[in-house]
Structure 1
Amino acid sequence: MAQTLEALSRRMTSMQDIRSIVHTMKTLSVINSAPYEHAASAIAAYHETVLLGLHAVLSQVGPLDVGPPVNGTKSFVVFGSDHGLCGNYNEALAAHLTQHMAGGSERDTILCVGAQMTDALSDLGMTPQTTVFPPASVDGIGRLANQLTQQLADIQNSLGSGDMAVSLAYVTRDGPVGQRPVVTDLLPLDPGLVRNLQRKPWSSRSLPSFSMPPSEVFQALVRGHLFASIFHAVAEALVTENAARLAQMQQAEKSVDDRLESLGSEIRSVRQSEITTELLDVIIGFEALKKKRGNTASQPKDVLAETHSGGPRQT
């Protein structure tokens, strides 16, 4: 059905408004990514300090045996998105976590970040024990990491055992424009990491010393390691979320531009058709008026001819 010029103009205005919104969302995605990237870099430096402390303790207390938890209980911390406009971010992570948890224990618990992530997990038959809101800015990352660390400590105390496995599930960057869901084991400590710290020689001639009991120092450093790892996972998830949103907005902007170009062509075609129709109406009207004037001008000549010939002929 042919569109009128007025209707096409309204659609063009609406699409231009949509493009303005998409461009704004794309700009916000770029702006929001920078603070989260800086936060990830900052917590990496803090994490190095925690690992240095672990190195100091392990160099003094001797070998440490790291094995799987005795009770076989695992806690998964899942970082989703509540802001939307980033594709199948939550669904892809939920599907990946489902595959990772296949064959697990019924006592496994899930701490979920994001209400939409909770819905995605529920659709796959997994019910999180706790749901918290994701941070709205970079200032909320530290508060969220502290909250999750405390909740994990409460779960550990409720188990009545010092052994508990903790894994983090989030979406990380994969190349310049890609992303992929990952599940990383956080506790117990990676045996490879512990062996490297135990074998690594102390870099200074001044040996480290501490006044607190080694077990308390070690537990405090493990909590620091847990906090830094959760903080980094949150920052990385937020960077990836904004990168995914940026990719979605770029695709939307391209689609809107293509639609605007198509509407512009339609408007030009309809305008040209209306101009052609108006010109044809003018030409047809002019020809009709010219013909009418020609007929009117020829009638007096006939009457005059009859007058000069002595009047009309008699039959």
Structure 2
Amino acid sequence: MADTLEILNRRSETLRSIGGIVRTMKTMSVINANPYEQAAHAIDAYRATVLEGLHAFVHQHGPLASAPRVAAGHVIVVFGSDHGLCGNYNEVIAAEVGRHAAETGDPDGVRIICVGAQMEDALGGLGMVPEVTLLSPGSTDGLGRLAGALVTRLDGIRHGGDSDALAVTLVFSRRGDHGLQVPVTQSLLPLDPELARSLATRPWQSRSLPRSTLPAPALLAALIRGYLFASLFRAGAEALVTENAARLARMQQAEQSVTDRLEELTAETRAVRQDEITTELLDVIIGFEALKEREKRKQVVAAATNAHLHDVRSPRDLHRPA
């Protein structure tokens, strides 16, 4: 049964309302992504300063000690989202977490720190239960608090174990070519051997020799914490930029779908309205033709009656001589 004009108009109004919501979500995605992108660039300068501090430490105290080949424990810090409407964003990252956990050789022994409620659900769908789930930050200030909380938690895990040899991996999403999202697995601890080698072999450029009044262990611990903070902050900022980019892409697709459906409904509404107008016109024409036919019948009957009256003569006329 074809839809009535009232139903089609109601559907069109609903789609226009949905289109307004979609456009609002698009605008919010663009607005939200910009501060996080700026924060990501800002933390790069801080990270460069921390690395220069490590360079000075190596120049003064010698190369960093090599990390043990086999870590006593593995921790994965995964960054996801608290909100939906971003497609399979969390599912892609969860699959990357599962792949990396399998590569450690002991998937059940891997401890997962999750950022984002939606990310927790995606991990649960793959049978992985996070040790703790933290809320995704709602601002750049929240990024700093989140990074600080993660550094404190990792420090507690490291000191709570039997050994300081702890492997920490970050899993998050980064923007790729053509607006695609790319899952990234980044080793955080132990320090990258290539990074340590670069710090040890790079010459000190300044004519002033680096010096510090702090004891070497305390200075190294502070620098490592700064390095961890910068890396976690950068990963969280990049994840939030990618999340908003993914949401923007989905909203663009939704907007196109709404536009296409509205065009279909508009064409269908015009067709139904034209059918109704045609039906009404046909009713008027049929009624007019019926009236014309009725009047014609009346005229025919009247003409026949008049002719009959003229043909019939009165009795007086019958006895009158011709």
Category of TM-score, reference length = shorter chain: over 0.9
In structure 1, C-alpha distance between the alignment counterparts of 2:199 and 2:173, rounded to whole Å: 28
Which residue matches 1:247? 249
Which residue matches 2:115? 113
Q: Secondary structure at the match of 1:289?
A: helix
In structure 1, C-alpha distance between the alignment counterparts of 2:22 and 2:42, rounded to whole Å: 31
What is the identity, as a one-letter code, of the residue corresponding to 1:110?
Answer: I
Identity of aligned residues (%): 55
**Given that residues 58 and 200 in structure 2 are in contact (C-alpha distance below 8 angstroms), is that contact kept between their aligned partners in structure 1?**
yes
Which residue matches 1:15? 15
Deviates more, 1:97-106 or 1:286-295: 97-106
In structure 2, C-alpha distance between the alignment counterparts of 1:75 and 1:198, rounded to whole Å: 27
What is the identity, as a one-letter code, of the residue corresponding to 1:139?
Answer: D
Which residue matches 1:237? 239
What is the identity, as a one-letter code, of the residue corresponding to 2:179?
Answer: V
Q: Secondary structure at the match of 2:118?
A: helix
Q: State the Cα distance separating 1:71 from its structure 2 match.
A: 4.4
**Aligned-pair Cα RMSD in Å:** 1.7
Structure 1 gaps of 5+ residues are none
Q: State the Cα distance separating 1:69 from its structure 2 match.
A: 5.8
Shift in alpha-carbon separation, 1:186–1:311, aligned structure 2, 3 A: farther
**Given that residues 72 and 163 in structure 2 are in contact (C-alpha distance below 8 angstroms), is that contact kept between their aligned partners in structure 1?**
no
Which residue matches 1:302? 304
TM-score by length of 1: 0.96
Q: State the Cα distance separating 1:162 from its structure 2 match.
A: 2.3
Q: State the Cα distance separating 1:70 from its structure 2 match.
A: 5.0
Per-residue CA deviations over 1:56-103 (Å, capped at 9, x if unaligned) read: 001111122323465431111111111110011111111111111112
Q: Larger radius of gyration, structure 1 or 2?
A: 2
1:148 to 136, 147, 150: 150
Aligned residues: 314
In structure 1, C-alpha distance between the alignment counterparts of 2:178 and 2:38, rounded to whole Å: 17
Structure 2 gaps of 5+ residues are none
Which residue matches 1:290? 292
Shift in alpha-carbon separation, 1:2–1:311, aligned structure 2, 3 A: farther
Which residue matches 2:171? 169
Which residue matches 2:86? 86
Which residue matches 1:157? 159
Matches within 5 A, 1:7-156: 7-68=7-68, 71-102=71-102, 103-104=105-106, 106-156=108-158
What is the identity, as a one-letter code, of the residue corresponding to 1:42?
Answer: A
In structure 2, C-alpha distance between the alignment counterparts of 1:142 and 1:311, rounded to whole Å: 120
**Given that residues 137 and 143 in structure 2 are in contact (C-alpha distance below 8 angstroms), is that contact kept between their aligned partners in structure 1?**
yes
In structure 1, C-alpha distance between the alignment counterparts of 2:23 and 2:88, rounded to whole Å: 21
Per-residue CA deviations over 1:236-265 (Å, capped at 9, x if unaligned) read: 000000000001001111111110000001
Q: Secondary structure at the match of 2:195?
A: helix
Runs of 4+ off more than 6 Å: none
In structure 2, C-alpha distance between the alignment counterparts of 1:71 and 1:298, rounded to whole Å: 113
In structure 2, C-alpha distance between the alignment counterparts of 1:8 and 1:108, rounded to whole Å: 55
Matches within 5 A, 1:208-227: 208-227=210-229
TM-score by length of 2: 0.94
In structure 1, C-alpha distance between the alignment counterparts of 2:74 and 2:18, rounded to whole Å: 46
**Given that residues 72 and 105 in structure 1 are in contact (C-alpha distance below 8 angstroms), is that contact kept between their aligned partners in structure 2?**
no
Shift in alpha-carbon separation, 1:306–1:176, aligned structure 2, 3 A: closer
**Given that residues 172 and 237 in structure 1 are in contact (C-alpha distance below 8 angstroms), is that contact kept between their aligned partners in structure 2?**
yes
What is the identity, as a one-letter code, of the residue corresponding to 1:120?
Answer: A
Which residue matches 2:3? 3
